[in-house]
Amino acid sequence: MACAACILALLDVLPANKRPESALALVRELDGLHSYLLFIGKDEGSEPLPSRLVVEAHLRSFARGWEATWCKLRQRFWPLYRQLADANDFLVAAAEEAARLTCRRHGPPERHLAVAWIASHGLFGLLRDSARWHAWRPRQRQAMPDIDFTLPALVGEWHDGGSAARELLTAQALQEEGEAMHHCVGSYWERCVAGEPIFALTDAQGQRATAQYQPVVLASARDEITYRLVQLRGPCNQEVGKKLSRFASQLAKVINAPERQDARRAALAAIDTLRRLQRDARHAPALPALDATSRARLLPVLARLSFEPAAPGTLLVAHVAGVDYHDFPRLEVQGLARFAAGDTLHVIREPDNPRDALAVRIDWQGHRLGYVPRPDNAEIARRLAAGEGLVCRITRFTPTAPNWRKIEVVITEDRA
């Protein structure tokens, strides 16, 4: 549930004529309000959003006024929690498209995209964009369709009391589930590869559901991994009955059984295996992540987040990897880490590096900062080995960020 402080902060932002007229008017909308505030989220970690952006999002969301906003939401986008869950799927695709546009491995966090999208286009604009995307969404060819890759099973199959769970371990199985259930789980392959298992559930009466689980690494024991149920959807994203809901919760306990700890670790490690296969195949997705209208509406959202589309000739925008293990900590302690956007860096191949023959080192004024992150280093190493001229510059230095996110660089073709 959203905290009382979050509710008070929202009400404080709204003009008097946009607030609820009474305590009863507020209490009446608490369920939807909690869904909205949980979707907006709050700052956690090292990358807070500018407070003005959150304020703009709240103002756009309730621009019609309190009563009118909730009335229209009930008419068109209810239950709100389900519509926002679908919108999060849309924002995952938007983050993928943002990564492509900006030549980064990852786009902005979904929470940042959510706030910036609402600030740019309004809450109703986001929900309409999400609905349009879900209607448009192609029968996506997965990122690596030519690679025969099967995920390591956490459970495989499990039966209890007439109900059955089948783990979806291939891109094809995931796509078939999405087509059979008429929802977007077919586009979740990258999440599965990242360690989020998805199961097809059936009960004795033939009712069906799709369940998604997410890993949680306990801070008190970094190698202790547990899973929690995060999504449970029936055909066409309908609600799931109590029997299958209980079965999905029981399945979480089966996944988290002590004897499956090694299987849980293997599930999280699968992404490294697939990335090696992707790097060797040098294959890219053939289909866009967003429809044309959404791609156009993404641009002002990215501008609010200072994510500019990459210029022609850009090969990669990334953070320097391994900065903790080279010269950066010493430079910082000595007060010599005077980095500025535009500073020229040097990229140097290290074919004899015992850890990675494709390693590409990044130097600044004779100091070793770190390396181009894997697996993105493969293409950079290939171009350097072929004698191509590349230019590397600092795009952003954020002293308050964790070391691994302090130095952002861009690598481009040398067109001089």
Task: Give the model's confidence band at 287: pLDDT under 50 very low, under 70 low, under 90 confident, else very high.
Answer: low
As a whole-number percent, the residues of the chain with pLDDT over 70 amount to 90
| The pLDDT of residue 221 | 42
Residue 52: is its pLDDT beyond 70? yes
Distance CA 204, CA 345 (A): 63
CB-based contacts of 292, cutoff 8 Å, min separation 6: none
Domain over 310-413 is classified CATH 3.30.1600.10: no
Q: Provide the residue type at 232 as one letter.
A: L
Task: Give the model's confidence band at 235: pLDDT under 50 very low, under 70 low, under 90 confident, else very high.
Answer: very high
Q: For 331-347, how does the pLDDT look when each residue is reduced to its tens digit (9 = 90+)? A: 999 999 899 999 999 99
Residue 366: is its pLDDT beyond 60? yes
Task: Look over the chain and give the mean of its residue pLDDT values, rounded to a whole number.
Answer: 88
- Average pLDDT on 306-329 reads 93
* Contact yes or no for 129/163 (Cβ under 8 A): no
CB-based contacts of 223, cutoff 8 Å, min separation 6: 217, 265
392: phi then psi, degrees, rounded to nearest 5: -125, 130
* Contact yes or no for 282/375 (Cβ under 8 A): no
* Contact yes or no for 335/353 (Cβ under 8 A): no
Judged by average pLDDT, the poorest of 57-71, 133-147, 213-227, 376-390 is: 133-147
The CB density around residue 408, as the number of other CB atoms within 10 Å, is 17
Q: How many CA atoms lie within 13 A of 394 on its CB side?
A: 19
Best CA proximity match to 226, nearest among 210, 215, 238: 215
- Average pLDDT on 229-254 reads 93
The CB density around residue 414, as the number of other CB atoms within 10 Å, is 10
Distance CA 217, CA 265 (A): 10
Question: Which residue intervals of the chain bear CATH 3.30.70.2330?
Answer: 310-413
Q: What is the pTM for the complete model shown?
A: 0.69
φ/ψ region of 402 (left if φ > 0, alpha if ψ in -120 to 50, else beta) reads beta
283 vs 16, higher pLDDT: 16
| The pLDDT of residue 218 | 57
Residue 286: is its pLDDT beyond 80? no
Distance CA 336, CA 349 (A): 25
Q: What is the DSSP string of 307-344?
A: -PPPPTTEEEEEEPBTGGGSSHHHHHHTT-----TT-E
Task: Give the model's confidence band at 416: pLDDT under 50 very low, under 70 low, under 90 confident, else very high.
Answer: low
| The pLDDT of residue 225 | 83
Q: For 249-270, how does the pLDDT look when each residue is reduced to its tens digit (9 = 90+)? A: 999 999 999 999 888 888 887 7
| The pLDDT of residue 156 | 94
- Average pLDDT on 220-224 reads 51
Q: For 6-36, how does the pLDDT look when each residue is reduced to its tens digit (9 = 90+)? A: 899 999 999 999 999 999 999 999 999 999 9
Is the peptide bond between 402 and the residue preceding it cis, with omega within 30 degrees of 0? Answer: no
Task: Give the model's confidence band at 219: pLDDT under 50 very low, under 70 low, under 90 confident, else very high.
Answer: very low
Distance CA 238, CA 244 (A): 13
**Distances 117 to 15, 58, 260, 303 between C-alpha atoms, Å:** 21, 11, 40, 11
